[in-house]
Copies of this chain bind each other. A is one copy, B any other.
Amino acid sequence: MRKLINAPARFVDEMLEGIYAAHPDRLTYVAGDLRCLVTTRKKQGKVALATGGGSGHLPLFLGYVGDGMLDGCSVGGVFQSPSAEQMLNVTKAIHGGEGVLYVYGNYSGDIMNFDMAAEMAAMEGIRVETVIGADDVASAPRGREDKRRGVAGMFYVYKVAGAAAEDGAPLDEVKRLALKARDNVRTMGVALSACVIPEIGRPTFELDEGEMEIGMGIHGEPGVKGKALLKPADEVVDEMVRPILEDLPFRRGDEVSVLVNGLGATPKEELYVLYRRISQILSAEGIKVWHTYVGEFATSMEMAGASISLLRLDDELKKYLARPADTPFFVQGQL
């Protein structure tokens, strides 16, 4: 392993200790459990937003806890779901009297635990609603969106729902907007190398230099297209963007936001080489780009590769996407 870590079994907790030490004015934990992470700036009288999921995807998930986005996050082991009890602890800590919205990715362990947490919260008088991110078009065909994985496109759901909650929208309205963002975002990923789970110590899959896997999930799950020889970046982008455009489908005249996401080891230089081709395709298709994000938004530790997400916009989504946000991992001024 080429990793700067101590004992693998302590990796997640030591990472969290580092995060709390680095951002003591912004992030803290509740219930004496490092893995129950909440904002230090709790606001009463607004809908609270919670997420959660496995570790190894920073800034996903906990990195979006902060002003204008989320209020709390339960943190699992590497690629493992946090427990229902941890989710409940976060829920109780962040509830500001207006209910809680859960936004997380479509993975069975997370669903089971979040559903259990929601039931327990209800018994304590906290109303919880849920929106599940499922943006990865490579993970299931059209018509089976309910089987798709949640990947980098969840950033948009957090951003829109978080801004609406900050604005004072009630729970049903925050949920409606989260669903609108969720239903209008599509993502495709490509991996050029695997990552190593510290406690396992070997790559999650084998991919030779010169190979790529199109449609790879953020845990190394295979995609619909499988392994292929690595091609020039422009051709890779073509193979990623076409299925996205056809899926929603995006049409001439649509306005979109584009998110080019590095999976961990791929430099920003390459992400911009990808964006160059994306913008050429969208321009040729008559699709207008309203705002572009390029960077690391949902990673798989040291996996090389990238994903492309497109969000179809309307005035309402633009309004909330444009709002400022300020978390230790993501800062945006008013667009």
Contact = CB atoms under 8 A, between A and B. Distances in A.
Given A4-B233, A276-B14, A331-B333, A302 B301 contact: no
Interface string A211-255: 000000000000000000010111010000000000000000000
Given A273-B14, A332-B331, A299 B267 contact: yes
A16 B296 CA distance: 19
A274 B14 CA distance: 9
Contacts of A270: 3-5, 15
A193 interface: yes
A314 interface: no
Contact of A21 (B17, B58, B275): B275
Copy count, this protein chain: 2
A14 B233 CA distance: 11
Interface string A252-267: 0000000010001111
Interface string A268-285: 111111111001000000
Contacts of A305: 4
Given A275-B18, A304-B302, A326-B333, A269 B2 contact: no
Given A264-B267, A266-B302, A5 B58 contact: no
Q: Pick from A2, A234, A265 the residue with the most CB of B within 10 Å.
A: A2
29 contacts: A2-B192, A4-B190, A6-B232, A6-B233, A6-B273, A14-B233, A14-B273, A14-B276, A15-B273, A16-B272, A17-B276, A18-B271, A18-B273, A18-B275, A18-B276, A18-B279, A21-B292, A22-B260, A22-B275, A22-B279, A265-B302, A265-B304, A266-B302, A267-B302, A268-B296, A269-B301, A295-B329, A326-B333, A331-B331
Contact of A265 (B17, B234, B264): B264
Interface of A: 1-7, 11, 14-19, 21-23, 55-56, 58-59, 63, 190, 192-193, 209, 230, 232-234, 236, 260, 264-276, 279, 292, 294-296, 299, 301-302, 304-306, 326, 329, 331-333
A1 B211 CA distance: 10
A59 B268 contact: yes
Given A274-B4, A302-B304, A331-B332, A269 B23 contact: no
B15 A272 contact: yes
Contacts of A233: 4-6, 14
A168 to B, nearest CB: 21
B273 A11 contact: yes
A6 B299 contact: no
A4 B266 contact: yes
Nearest to A301: B267
Given A23-B292, A269-B58, A279-B21, A236 B331 contact: no
